[in-house]
Structure 1
Amino acid sequence: MAHIRTILGVVMAAAAATMLVSPLLAGAEISPAEAQGMPNCDITCGSMSVPYPFGMGPARCYWPGFNLTCDRRSNPPRLLLGDGTLQVQEFSMSNWSTFVTVIRTGDIKVDGNGEGTLGGGLTTNGPYTISSNKLILLGCNVQATLKNSDVIVSSCSSFCKNGDRLSHVRSTLEEGMQCSGNGCCQSDIVFNPAEVAGRLFNSTSYDVQLKWFGWNRSTDQQWPAHVFIARSRWFSGTSVFRKLLRTDAPVSADAMQVPFRLDWEVVGHGAEGSNVCKSKHSDYLTGKKGYTCSCNHGYEGNPYITDGCKDIDECNNEGSAKCYGYCTNLDGSYYCRCPPGTDGDATLQGGCRTPITSDCITSCGDIDVPYPFGIGSANCY
């Protein structure tokens, strides 16, 4: 009799809980159904789709703090967050990883005292934090400190030897020593709202302070310092630092598109796990200051709306289920068995074999021969 194996809730994690909206800049066409926004709400901006809790237009179309705008005057249209200086590139609601990637043009501008601000017009005490990024500094004999109110969240120092300047820095970077402290430094942003509760002025408004410590500041400032908040791998791109370290023309950071990541959680306005995760096939995770949601294993979609998590048809979803026998899709799982007359594990390629018969030799002297090893005809092994 064929052995039947039932597989309940075994799916690839990425397929089970992922809803990732592709980047606008990649030009991918996205079906509005993938975004699953609120009913009767506009959820498209050019090739971008907007998943709830994000939304555009009336307040009913988004959770408070997640409002976006679509600049349809540009070609192609641009999806904007905050005061319009941040362009949305990507959404993620993937397996407890919730973030939105935005692009900011240029570096953080500082005044003659070395003071500047990373703004964006984001809501005070809103859903976003920038902890998954790096502080990057290019300059000679200068220290950059990133603060939120009186809380230091990142800092690093960049040194230059006399006479080295750009040529030495560029050769160092091209050898693979990215931001080692010679003309360039980088540091992780350390930020946990729960640990500094009550001390933060605005969790998405950060002040930058530059401090020069070289013996000749005028010489050091011949190469202007540039400060960026960016995703960790952005500066490792050779083309980026080559543009910044050009010697044949003035350095222009103004036109550079700098991506950084905003982690988000649903906060405030009566947010509780039970009312944030609205799909019945979803669960919630308590975060640093709010909640995030994920579809249960065997489902995918948007856990933040009613019936947003849909059953995955593992039998017809390439890369989801591995069934080399007869596959039957179930609600939240699937059923896989070997064809009649065979036995084994149908989830393994070649796992279904004709059962061992009495014609098979199962021992050699005093050594037993277990299947899948065998002696004799082909059906014995």
Structure 2
Amino acid sequence: MLSFWLVFLSFTSPLTATGSPDAVSGCPDTCGNVHVPYPFGINFTSEISKPRCALNNSEFMFICNSTYNPPQLFFGENMPIHHISVEEGTISVKIYAAYNCYNNRGLFASFSQSISLGNGLFRFSDSRNKLTVVGCDTLALMEDATETFGSGCLSWCETDMTLQGSCSGFGCCQTSIPKSLKTLNISLSSSTNHSRVLQFNPCDFAFLSDERTYNVSSLQLSYNPFSSATENFVTSDVVIEWVVREETCEVARSSSNPNGYACGDNSKCLYSVNGQGYRCLCNDGFTGNPYLPQGCQDIDECKEPDKYKCDGTCKNTFGAYTCRCPLGMLGDGKVACRGFRVTTIAAVTGAILLIMVIAFLIIIIYKRRRKERNFLENGGMLLKHQRVRIFSEAELVKATKNFDASHLLGEGGFGYVYRGFLADNTQEHHSIFLSSLENHTLHRILRFNVASENEMEEIEVCAELAKQCLRSSGIQRPTMKEVAEELGRLRKLNRSSWDHRQSSQETEYLPAESSYSTIEVGTSKMSQNEILRLRTFDIEYSTDNI
């Protein structure tokens, strides 16, 4: 039966954690919703307290009242604790506000607040708390129990208003409190018993409030402390600062100090001017509870990049960390790295090269398509099926020495005309051809086995067409398309004789191998480097006939 009750108590007790990283092993660290770290301990109303769970059993042991749901932790007898901070050395509690309420007969309800933190290690925080007063025609005064300090503020207004923003003195006012304050008495008064503002401001309030959490709009002029809807508004958060002992850090560290040094490993002593004593704080780069024997533990900053900046390679060290900028960059990685990462440079370079390759391919494709278009527009398909030699751009550039001006013969309707030299270094002068044509002696420079008498008429027609192409005036010269069309017409008219000549060797369609020959090259006016498909007449002649 006894074992059953022990198990039952373990499930119903507000004790929820043992072995917490910031509490003594085996000691409870939670009361209701409040976490209680060492050096503080919990004294449950239904259990025997454990003195070893708190650094100072008389000062740092708080009562956890399990009759509330959830259980509540109290500072003193009636100040509920809702937060304890070891790092800031603070305890946040809730305290009821002082108030005065009036009706047509005058003051009918009032409450003056008196607070005492005891003679120990606790003081009101002078940096976080302010006396706050809400009301019209309201004077609030505060003083300590020994009457060595007194202060107050006056809140005034004649019309109803909505409180918001900060307290300006109209409907709300605030004033600071001194250091080392352990007791506080707050009282209220009104010069006219709110007779002028009774319709919209029946009650006035005065209380200490934490500047971080207090919202002016949470308590309006029309509120009163007796309505269930406004019950939460007549309490406020108050911050209490604490020290572990009322000693200086030098005295605390002294080996002759009978109280011993409260700070653990990897921590430092911090003297509090307000508390007139010291508390402990983890060194930079460490975290944990500095009051426990094992002290503070090293922080792995590399695992918390949002909190510890590093723009490069992070490496954790004992109590710190290093951050090296990426390869190719300079500076402090904890602040900012300058320059460009190697990967970024490589990516940009690769992208530029890729763009250049794509652009090069586009240019090649564009030139090729332009050449094909020019070839088709200038009768290239017709010439391709004739017994005509079509020169490439490379052959034309070589024959004309890159279109040298000294080889330019003239300019006509289909472009510039150049004189060129064949690859075998032979030359062909069109003057011999023209002379033979004009004197009707064309047969002298023709091979008789090719040019029979029956074919002379056709050859003379072709020669006349070639003569037109050699005219010096570009306007009088036919276009390449016209030449191709004329050749096509002749081929259709004389297909039978033409087919007979095709059976002979293609390289011997003119009379005799010349000792030198020339070619007439036409280029587009758009660009001399543009590939053109041109037609030439190779006139071979025998030096014996000249």
TM-score with structure 2 setting the length: 0.48
**Compared with structure 1, are the counterparts of its residues 61 and 114 closer, same or farther at alpha carbon in structure 2 (3 Å cutoff)?**
same
Residue 284 of structure 1: how far off its partner (Å) = 1.0
Q: Cα RMSD (Å) of the superposition?
A: 3.9
Whichever of the two has the greater Rg, that structure is 2
Residue 277 of structure 1: how far off its partner (Å) = 4.1
Q: Distance in 2 between matches of 1:321 and 1:255?
A: 39
**Compared with structure 1, are the counterparts of its residues 31 and 350 closer, same or farther at alpha carbon in structure 2 (3 Å cutoff)?**
farther
Higher relative contact order, chain-length normalized (CA < 8 Å, sep 6+): 1
Secondary structure of residue in 2 paired with 1:135: strand
Pick one of 205, 217, 222 that aligns with 2:183.
205
Q: Distance in 2 between matches of 1:301 and 1:89?
A: 21
Q: Distance in 2 between matches of 1:315 and 1:78?
A: 39
The CA deviation string for residues 45-89 of structure 1, in whole angstroms up to 9 with x for no partner, is 234321122211333322332221222232222222211x22222
Pick one of 304, 315, 329 that aligns with 1:317.
304
Number of residue-to-residue matches in the alignment: 303
Residue 282 of structure 1: how far off its partner (Å) = 0.8
**Compared with structure 1, are the counterparts of its residues 112 and 263 closer, same or farther at alpha carbon in structure 2 (3 Å cutoff)?**
farther
The CA deviation string for residues 170-218 of structure 1, in whole angstroms up to 9 with x for no partner, is 24x25x4x332223222122x123xxxxxxxxx4321123343x3x336
Alignment of 1:53-132 (within 5 A): 53-56=39-42, 57-64=49-56, 65-83=59-77, 85-94=78-87, 97-104=88-95, 106-108=96-98, 116-119=112-115, 122-131=117-126, 132=128
Aligned to 1:137: 133
| Greater strand content | 1
Aligned to 1:45: 31
Pick one of 216, 219, 244 that aligns with 2:195.
219
Gaps (5+ residues) in structure 2? 1-15, 43-48, 101-106, 254-259, 346-351, 354-546
The CA deviation string for residues 288-343 of structure 1, in whole angstroms up to 9 with x for no partner, is 2111221111101111121221100112234243334443322112233456x655
Secondary structure of residue in 2 paired with 1:60: helix
Q: Does 1:264 align with 2:257?
A: no
> Is the Cα contact below 8 Å between 1:91 and 1:100 reproduced in 2?
yes
Alignment of 1:181-192 (within 5 A): 181-189=169-177, 191-192=178-179
The CA deviation string for residues 142-188 of structure 1, in whole angstroms up to 9 with x for no partner, is 32111012133541012243xx3xxx2x24x25x4x33222322212
**Compared with structure 1, are the counterparts of its residues 66 and 135 closer, same or farther at alpha carbon in structure 2 (3 Å cutoff)?**
same
**Compared with structure 1, are the counterparts of its residues 204 and 251 closer, same or farther at alpha carbon in structure 2 (3 Å cutoff)?**
farther
| Greater helix content | 2
Gaps (5+ residues) in structure 1? 1-29, 194-202, 358-376
Aligned to 1:366: none
> Is the Cα contact below 8 Å between 1:142 and 1:159 reproduced in 2?
yes
Which AA in structure 1 matches 2:66? R
**Compared with structure 1, are the counterparts of its residues 217 and 41 closer, same or farther at alpha carbon in structure 2 (3 Å cutoff)?**
same
TM-score with structure 1 setting the length: 0.66
Which AA in structure 1 matches 2:215? S
Secondary structure of residue in 2 paired with 1:217: coil
**Compared with structure 1, are the counterparts of its residues 338 and 117 closer, same or farther at alpha carbon in structure 2 (3 Å cutoff)?**
closer
**Compared with structure 1, are the counterparts of its residues 211 and 229 closer, same or farther at alpha carbon in structure 2 (3 Å cutoff)?**
same
Aligned to 1:159: 156
